[in-house]
Structure 1
Amino acid sequence: MGINLFTNRQTKNPLNALLLLTDGQDNENHNYTQLMQTLPSGVQCHTFGYGSDHTASLLVRIAEQGNGGTFTYIDEQEAIGSAFAMALGGLFTCVAQQVHVNIEFTGAYKITHVHSNYKYEPEQLPSTNLNIKLHDLNAEEKRNLVFQLYVPKTDNNEQNVDMTSQLPMSVTQSTEEIQLFENQIIGNVTVIYMDPNTGRTITTNPVSFNLVRGSHPPDELLRVNHILDIQRNRVETAHALERAMAEDNYRQSRAILKAQVDKIKASVSAQDPFCQKLIKDLEYHYPTERDYRSSQHNTYMCHTTERGTYMPSSNTSTR
């Protein structure tokens, strides 16, 4: 019925969302995948599970199929207002809609894996081009895209060539000039989005990807990037939570999260405050399995969408 209101309405608002709150399980059998396909592309579906009888896995699936919506677990009656206030607050501060990130690489440079949980095309990798769909972006939000790139090795017998000028290097050039030649532009990224205030589609200026090659790179380039390692821990935690929530055996589900905790503790960024919060959330012991699954489903959605929602006080990494 709610979807019909969107499809049959006479006028449209610049910002649209469908909010679904339930405190129990569905008494009838519905094909929700087919139903969510009828939801207009500009409308996100945000789901809320209240109390102990809701089916968190179903609400997560509806939100994921609802154009990148969120799932919120409401653990107490007093939190209902806060949960809806956070969702509505995000809608009212939307700064970009229908965000697409276009990545293009040149030559033999290809994207081999995408680790972030956003939809992308083409689905078949490797590819030199990638279009990632990020849906809407609210004020003070950010998105981190983690992917792997195939970098072809160089032939030491070949002359060094500037990718811009394509002119062979002179043997009389200085070390600084050689280093400049080795800083190559291998691709670019642009962002396309719709301004919710004007309805105009905006395309940003391309930003280049620069690859620095050298026979003796400085030590700082050989170290694991701290910021990237934090994002890798976040993305891998989201994947681990997804697997754990799909595991029906409670002990095995907890074992999946324990293995992820061990990986974070062994990482370069293990002592980062955010990673410490990830560890705390994954290790937390809930009073019941239902509380465990509802809360961790919520944590999974927050880290997958990089969007905060109301969370029980036991959770710290999504605040």
Structure 2
Amino acid sequence: MVSKWRKAKLALGCIQLPRTQGDNNSNNILSSSSAADVVANNNNNNVGIGIGEGPRRFSDAEVSPAAADCRPPSLLTPTPSSSGLRFSRNSSKSSKKNCAICLTTMIPGQGHAIFTAECSHSFHFHCITSNVKHGNHICPVCRAKWKEIPFQDQTPEVLRRKLRSNSVNWNRDNPLVAALHQLPLPQPDANQNIFPTYRVAEPAVTFDDDDPIEEQHTFREQSAHNTSDSSIRRVEIRACPEVSAIAKSASYDNFTVLIHLKAPVARVSNYNPSSPSGSQHSRAPVDLVTVLDVSGSMAGTKLALLKRAMGFVIQHLGPRDRLSVIVFSSSARRLFPLRRMTDTGRRQALQAVNSLSSNGGTNIAEGLKKGAKVMLERKYKNPVSSIILLSDGQDTYTVVGLPGVQSRNDYKSLLPNSIQQISGTSCQIPVHTFGFGADHDSVSMHSISEGSGGTFSFIEAEGVIQDAFAQCIGGLLSVVVQELKLELECVYPSLQLGSIKAGSYNAQLMPDARTGHINVGDLYAEEERDFLVTMNIPHTSLSEMPLLKVRCKYNDPITNDMGILSEVEEVIINRPETTGHVEVSREVDKQRNRLKAADAMSEARSAAEHGDLAGAVSILETCRQTLSESASAEDPPCVALINELKEMQDRMSSRQVYEASGRAYVLSGLSSHSWQRATARGDTTSSTSLSQSYQTSFMADMITRSQTMVLGSLPASPPVRPPRSLSGRPSPR
């Protein structure tokens, strides 16, 4: 049974628990005698996420002038989320202050709340709330006008009533409660006294203060003596014609050839992405910038689960990987520069993320701009680079139709020009976007990801955010191929290419239609890509007709080998005098079905956006029928497509349902199928919440880790006694 203490802590979003009696740090032992003390020492948005020292709440008197100068403006003034509410610890200085309204001494602690205004004057909270509720927003002492005022509903009395509330469903079967129960505890470290890393001052001009990267030559030296390794590392190319034979006298229009690519496997079988040992050199190190929404709408459970998800990411980055965190609300700020995730780097990153609170509006553009600035101005570069963007709202500063601002349909304005995907080149900094909840701007998030070569995931249920991050990280930590370019060349003299169907990948036919190429970019370990090429087959006197030569060039980010040329695959079909019944390749049929489904999703979305939900549902139903009658209808990928189309139909049952989840679900599906890469979409009860069609083994392994690992139980965590109830007695389990 869940203790009353834990219930009270969860109700307030406070996850820290009392320590053992043997804990040397007595300051971490919370008294159970006063509910106000619980409120006094915990901000409802500050939730522990990992091992190491939890973030300490420093008073102004404790922060050195140098550190104070480094603090961003949002940390120097009260925020709407806290409303300036500060429950001070005993201090000789503060005890001598008098409230300028009631003129009595302001006694810290003992449940007395003190409000410190932007002008630095302090008052009893109940005094100042009575003063401002009549519309007076001016300091009674210096007459300065306040931009932010305290809210009456955050008084200790209201919070005490919240503690006594029994309105929360505490059943552990509740997925939300279960997720909160797994939130890890910040563990004290008596030997460390590090300021939270959000206090790092940002450079005035450039972000070139990133940590130096580790020289990577260990594995290259090892593999130089292993000739069999290079053969294992080759990208596999396989070509499959639509039919194996065509009669000599016959011609065939729009003849289709499937080009299949498969990335090599990982270098080690027992892959551990967070290990500092030699297995770290079996993969390419990563530069990762996370751009996180901490606006007011993220308050409470959303922010708590985001912190936990970031804790998971931090724990699974290795000492050769680098991480920087950007947070945005009304403005954006960098918590810390690109920092190597050594033991110290992880601890400081956890502290920085743990210190976050939510307030303000949603300025996605500023967050992206700062994230791109970190990437573009870094002094050193790891082989793999990516940006992760999460938001639960719409950009209220860039695309809301303000006078003189661009049209709301111009979503590309949110993507800095410096990281947009340029035609004919591989995008080096993909932005993987995550739309959180029902109120996010899925069109904008999808546009950002599509323009940069990233994916868009729809996180409908709060509890799946960590799994979605885990899936994405599982891919980024297993990149084995970069800047892959697939080249096509016609062999038969009179043959010409008709089309190249490559989804969102940049494909180009040369003017003579005899050659073409596809820019594929990065591939994760064991990841597969399928492209369809069409041509018109003429009659011939040959018994065998060579159609195409297919080859690809790419870079190996692990060995730093550039311009690797894979084995050339030549496509040949038989041309007998006559042919009987020839079956169409099921592999080609499956890929045709995927493209048909993607086209249907796009058409249905267009119809829905124009208000024709019935027409959208009809388009999806027609596609479902076509797929169910195809040659590969019973193959698992096709069955999954049919089920996904049905789910989309259900989410277009009404305008309200479509606005809440249908649009985001469709866009996430389009992103997955056009890039042939796994995305998260839907809620945790949906069989397609995590698209398994394109999942690699590393993605699946990361999701398993996410669903089974409790970060607070890692070896570095000290033992914690059973939680105490509000009465002070140990609660039953």
TM over 0.5: yes
CA displacement, residues 246-300 of structure 1 (integer Å, 9 cap, x when unaligned): 2212222222211211211221212222212211111122382131221121111
C-alpha deviation, 1:186, in angstroms: 2.8
Residue 584 of structure 2 is aligned to residue 211 of structure 1: no
Q: Which runs of 5+ in 2 are unaligned?
A: 1-369, 400-405, 421-426, 693-733
Residue of 71, 78, 92 corresponding to 2:456: 71
User: Structure 1 length as normaliser, TM-score?
Assistant: 0.85
Equivalent residues of 1:281, 1:315 under 8 A apart: no
Alignment match, 2:632: 269
Deviation, 1:59, is 1.4
Paired with 2:687 and 2:620, the residues of 1 have a C-alpha distance of: 15
Alpha-carbon spacing, 1:246–1:57, altered in 2? closer, same or farther (3 Å): farther
**Which residue of 2 is the match for residue 49 of structure 1?**
435
Note the C-alpha offset of 1:111: 1.6
Q: Distance in 1 between matches of 2:411 and 2:485?
A: 26
1:188 equivalent to 2:549? Answer: yes
How far apart in 1 are the matches of 2:487 and 2:476?
A: 25
Name the residue aligned to 1:178.
Answer: none
State whether residues 36 and 65 of structure 1, in contact with CA within 8 Å, keep that contact through their aligned partners in structure 2.
Answer: no
Which amino acid letter does the alignment assign opposite residue 375 of structure 2?
A: F
The Cα offsets for residues 93-142 of structure 1, whole Å up to 9 and x where unpaired, read as 11101111001003221221223312111377x71111101121111210
> Which amino acid in structure 2 is aligned with residue 318 of structure 1?
S
The CA distance in 2 between the partners of 1:58 and 1:243, in whole Å, is 18
Secondary structure class of the residue paired with 1:197: coil
2:419 paired residue among 20, 35, 39: 39
Q: Aligned match of 1:85 in 463, 470, 495? A: 470
1:175-224 CA-partner distances (Å, limit 9, x unpaired) = xxxxxxx22323211111111112222111211111211122354xx212
1:149-194 Cα distance to aligned partner (Å, 9 max, x none): 221222xxxxx45xxxxxxxxxxxxxxxxxxxx2232321111111
Q: Distance in 2 between matches of 1:20 and 1:123?
A: 36
Tell me if structure 1 keeps the 8 A contact 2:502–2:518.
no
1:113 aligns with 2:499: yes
- Equivalent residue for 1:19? 388
- Say whether the 8 Å CA contact 1:102–1:189 is kept in structure 2: yes
C-alpha contact (below 8 Å) 2:446/2:667 kept by paired residues = yes
**For residue 509 of structure 2, what is the aligned residue in structure 1?**
122
Please give the secondary structure, in 1, of the residue aligned with 2:419: coil
- What does residue range 139-218 of structure 1 map to in structure 2 within 5 Å? 139-154=525-540, 160=541, 182-201=543-562, 202-217=564-579
Are the equivalent residues in 2 in contact too, given 1:188–1:207 (CA < 8 A)?
Answer: yes
- State the AA in 2 paired with 1:25: Q
Residue type matched to 2:464 in 1? A
Cα displacement (A) at 1:143: 0.2
Secondary structure of 2:548's match?
Answer: strand
Q: Name whichever structure is richer in strand by fraction.
A: 1
- Report the AA paired with residue 210 of structure 1: I
Partner of 1:296: 666
Aligned-partner Cα distance in 2 for 1:193–1:76: 38
- Classify 1:123/1:77 alpha carbon distance in 2 versus 1 (closer, same or farther; 3 Å): farther
Report what 2:602 is aligned to: 242
C-alpha separation in 2, matches of 1:228 and 1:37: 37
Q: What is the Cα-based RMSD across aligned positions, in Å?
A: 2.0
Distance 1:19 1:77 in 2: 17
Q: How many residues align?
A: 290
Larger Rg computed on CA atoms: 2
Indicate which of 563, 587, 591 corresponds to 1:231.
Answer: 591
Deviation at 1:145, TM superposition (A): 0.6
Quick one: which amino acid aligns to residue 559 of structure 2? T
Moved more, 262-271 or 306-315: 306-315
